[in-house]
Structure 1
Amino acid sequence: MEQAAVDQLVALLDLEDIELNLFRGLSPEIDQQRVFGGQVAGQALVAAARTVDEDRSVHSLHAYFLRPGDPRVPILYEVDRQRDGRSFTTRRVVAIQHGRPIFNLSASFHRPEGGFEHQFEMPAGLPDPDDLEDFATRWAPYKDRLGDWYTRPRPIDTRYVDWAPPDRADPLPPRHKVWVRANGVLPDQPVLHDCVLAYLSDMTLLDTTLLPHGGTFMNQRVQMASLDHAMWFHRPFRADEWLLYDQDTPSASDGRGLARGFFFTQAGDLAVSVVQEGLIRRLEG
Structure 2
Amino acid sequence: MSGLLAALDLTDTGARTSEDIFTGPSQWMPQGRVFGGQVLAQSLVAAMRTIDEQRFVHSMHGYFLRPGDIDAPITFSVDRIHDGRSFATRRTQAYQGGLPILSMIASFQDVDNGLDHQVAMPSDIPAPESLPSTTEVLAGIDHPVATFWATGRPFDLRHVPSPIYFAVEGPHVPHQAVWFKTLSKLPDDPNLHRAALAYASDYSILEPIMRGHGLAWSTPGLKAASLDHAMWFHRFARVDDWLLYVQESPNAIGGRGLSQGRIFTREGVLVASVAQEGMVRVPQG
Please tell me the TM-score bracket, short chain as reference.
Answer: over 0.9
- Per the alignment, in what secondary structure is the counterpart of residue 191 of structure 1? helix
Query: Per-residue deviation at 1:154?
Result: 2.4
What is the distance in 2 between the residues matched to 1:155 and 1:29? Answer: 12
What is the distance in 2 between the residues matched to 1:273 and 1:150? Answer: 24
Query: Per-residue deviation at 1:71?
Result: 0.8
Instruction: Name the counterpart of 1:47.
Output: 46
The residue type paired with residue 250 of structure 1 is P
Instruction: Name the counterpart of 1:268.
Output: 268
What is the distance in 2 between the residues matched to 1:176 and 1:147? Answer: 21
Query: Per-residue deviation at 1:10?
Result: 1.1
| CA deviation string 1:180-235 (max 9, x = no partner) | 11111001111100100110100011122111111223023221100000000001
Contact 1:179 1:245 in 2 (8 A): yes
| 1:34 partnered with 2:33 | yes
Specify whether residues 138 and 31 from structure 1 end up closer, same or farther in structure 2 by C-alpha distance, changes over 3 A only: closer
Instruction: Name the counterpart of 1:144.
Output: 142
Unaligned runs of 5+ in 2: none
Contact 1:223 1:283 in 2 (8 A): no
What is the distance in 2 between the residues matched to 1:75 and 1:110? Answer: 27
What is the distance in 2 between the residues matched to 1:113 and 1:224? Answer: 39
Specify whether residues 189 and 150 from structure 1 end up closer, same or farther in structure 2 by C-alpha distance, changes over 3 A only: closer
The residue type paired with residue 154 of structure 1 is R
Specify whether residues 57 and 150 from structure 1 end up closer, same or farther in structure 2 by C-alpha distance, changes over 3 A only: closer
Specify whether residues 36 and 164 from structure 1 end up closer, same or farther in structure 2 by C-alpha distance, changes over 3 A only: closer
What is the distance in 1 between the residues matched to 2:238 and 2:142? Answer: 34
- Per the alignment, in what secondary structure is the counterpart of residue 283 of structure 1? coil
What is the distance in 1 between the residues matched to 2:225 and 2:177? Answer: 21
Specify whether residues 277 and 165 from structure 1 end up closer, same or farther in structure 2 by C-alpha distance, changes over 3 A only: closer
Query: Per-residue deviation at 1:169?
Result: 6.1
Specify whether residues 15 and 164 from structure 1 end up closer, same or farther in structure 2 by C-alpha distance, changes over 3 A only: closer
Query: Per-residue deviation at 1:140?
Result: 2.6
Instruction: Name the counterpart of 1:173.
Output: 173
| CA deviation string 1:157-199 (max 9, x = no partner) | 1111210443336761111011011111001111100100110
Instruction: Name the counterpart of 2:235.
Output: 235
The residue type paired with residue 186 of structure 2 is L
Contact 2:81 2:91 in 1 (8 A): yes
Instruction: Give the TM-score, by structure 1 length.
Output: 0.93
Q: How does 1:34-113 map to 2 (within 5 A)?
A: 34-113=33-112
What is the distance in 2 between the residues matched to 1:169 and 1:229? Answer: 25
Identity, in percent, stands at: 46
| 1:210 partnered with 2:210 | yes
**For this pair of structures, how many residues does the alignment match?**
279
Instruction: Give the TM-score, by structure 2 length.
Output: 0.93
Query: Per-residue deviation at 1:29?
Result: 4.0
Q: Once structures 1 and 2 are overlaid, which stretch shifts more, 267-276 or 120-129?
A: 120-129
What is the distance in 2 between the residues matched to 1:250 and 1:22? Answer: 38
Unaligned runs of 5+ in 1: 1-5
Q: CA RMSD in A?
A: 1.6
Q: Once structures 1 and 2 are overlaid, which stretch shifts more, 249-258 or 146-155?
A: 146-155
Query: Per-residue deviation at 1:257?
Result: 0.4
Instruction: Name the counterpart of 2:11.
Output: 16
What is the distance in 2 between the residues matched to 1:56 and 1:264? Answer: 22
What is the distance in 1 between the residues matched to 2:78 and 2:131? Answer: 41
| CA deviation string 1:245-270 (max 9, x = no partner) | 00000000010000011000011110
What is the distance in 1 between the residues matched to 2:97 and 2:164? Answer: 39
Contact 1:227 1:278 in 2 (8 A): yes
Query: Per-residue deviation at 1:147?
Result: 5.3
The residue type paired with residue 232 of structure 1 is W
Specify whether residues 147 and 240 from structure 1 end up closer, same or farther in structure 2 by C-alpha distance, changes over 3 A only: closer
What is the distance in 1 between the residues matched to 2:184 and 2:168? Answer: 35
